[in-house]
Chain A
Amino acid sequence: MYQTTYHRASSVDEAVSLFGESSEAKFLAGGQTLLPVMKQRLASPSDVIDLGKIKELQGVELSGDTLTIKAATTYYDIMTNADVKKAIPAIAHLTSVLGDPAVRYRGTIGGSIANNDPAADFPAALLALGATVKTNKRSIAAEDFFQGLFSTALEDGELITAVSFPVPAKAGYEKMRHPASRFALTGVFVAQTKSGEVRVAATGASQSGVMRVPAIEAALKSNWSPSAIDGVAISANGLLADIHGTAEYRANLIKVMAQRAVSAAG
């Protein structure tokens, strides 16, 4: 790891102002992605601004039909939170298959979506549930937030403060885990909103990051059941291909994971 200067912020305002005073700063939440990337020398921030002690970035709130998860809440705290388990159990399940127990104690929802790894789990949940990303400046719809591989709508120095999820009628998430990295070889999040809209998002599949799957949405809209997806054709065009799986394999995984997610959603 290259030299860097470590700062600990005690409020969102302080974090943002520290960022502004640095030449090439990075916000550090759980560090489960940023630190490995810095160790590989793929990132060399002049300054890292630790968000771990900022109280206003911690916690979960359930208010009416909106579940809000503050940005620096860890996967473990999300997984074990009573409101999450009650309102959107699919999110609790998603965190339980993300990383390993030690990683779940440190990694955060804000860190995951700010990095927008094409195989990360949370982007699929945000996109399928139609979540809103809250920052220190504005609110951004999930649709507009994710902009391709490792790329988001965040501006320089803009800090995610929370993610708000509309509580769905039904939701489920299933993924094929890469056995070593535990990232999604492909993961699919399915959701039926309270107004009857069906939204399906796949992660780990597309070359341009998390994506909606309109063909499966249409099939589930007319018949919410795993068998409704049997006849859906998913094109391998634009899907990832690597030593772990071909594009065709991932296209098939989108179908299979969607079917399992619908079963899980009930």
Chain B
Amino acid sequence: MSTVKLTVNGKAVAVDVEDRTLLVQLLRDHLNLTGTHVGCDTSQCGACVVHMDGKAVKSCTMLAGQADGASITTIEGIAKGDELHPMQAAFRDNHGLQCGYCTPGMIMSAIDIVHRYGGQLDEATVRAELEGNICRCTGYHNIVKAVLDAAGRMKVSQAAE
């Protein structure tokens, strides 16, 4: 057992876990943050993507101990109160989900993509960059639309801040 200290969605936490605990298990089983999903558990599907120090990583392929000292943001941490994050709002408005299983990971990856490209995105780039996130419902069209829509909204909301 080890104590892992990290910041999750802005809150400092210390969690006693077995050394073999994965980051996704710490989030879901110890902190009850079940918005982050486990799909394939083999780092292919992207349902478990969270941000670690601002970078989108697959939380099923990290030990909790590797996140010690880091700042983690999950899908539960991106809305401001009742106001959805622009990426969440764009997924809703563009019907970028059906069953919703992949959505938390899609949204966390998509936010990272927009940050990396400074909002300068086109359809081909979004499709290529989403290769680590698998959706079995939508056929991706509306997800891609949502990301492009959100890229514009995030630029606007950042400019407003």
Q: Which residues of A contact B (CB under 8 A)?
A: 1-6, 8, 28, 31-32, 35-36, 38-39, 48, 50, 52, 76, 99-103, 105-106, 180-182
Contact = CB atoms under 8 A, between A and B. Distances in A.
A260 B112 CA distance: 31
Interface in B54-107: 55-58, 61-63, 65-66, 68
Contact of B20 (A3, A76, A99, A102): A3
A6 B2 contact: yes
B57 A105 contact: yes
A5 B57 contact: no
A76 B42 CA distance: 20
5 contacts: A1-B22, A2-B20, A101-B116, A105-B55, A105-B57
Contacts of B49: 102
A78 to B, nearest CB: 15
Interface of B: 2, 18-20, 22, 41-44, 46, 49, 55-58, 61-63, 65-66, 68, 109, 112-113, 116, 129, 131-132
Contacts of B132: 99-103
B65 A101 contact: no
Contacts of B18: 3
Which has the most chain A C-beta neighbours within 10 Å: B22, B55, B129?
B55
Contact of B131 (A1, A52, A100): A100
A48 B131 contact: no
A35 B19 contact: no
A31 B41 contact: no
A102 B134 CA distance: 13
Contact of B63 (A3, A28, A103): A28
Contacts of B55: 76, 105
Given A36-B43, A102-B46, A3 B61 contact: no
Contact of A36 (B2, B42, B109, B112): B42
Nearest to B58: A102
B65 A35 contact: no
A50 B66 contact: yes
Contacts of A181: 44
B152 to A, nearest CB: 21
B80 to A, nearest CB: 25
B65 A106 contact: no
B112 A35 contact: no
Contacts of B2: 6
A182 B131 contact: yes
Contacts, number: 75
A77 to B, nearest CB: 11
Contact of A101 (B42, B62, B66, B113): B113
A122 B98 CA distance: 38
Given A4-B19, A6-B2, A28-B63, A102 B109 contact: yes
Contacts of A8: 65, 68
Contacts of B19: 3-6, 48
A46 to B, nearest CB: 11
Nearest to A40: B42
B56 A48 contact: no
Task: Give the 10 A-B residue pairs with the shortest CB-CB distance, closest first.
Answer: A100-B132, A6-B19, A6-B65, A105-B55, A102-B58, A1-B20, A100-B131, A102-B132, A35-B61, A102-B56
A105 B41 CA distance: 18
A8 B3 CA distance: 13
Nearest to B132: A100
A103 B41 CA distance: 14
B121 to A, nearest CB: 13
Nearest to B53: A105
Contacts of A32: 43, 61
Contacts of A1: 20, 22
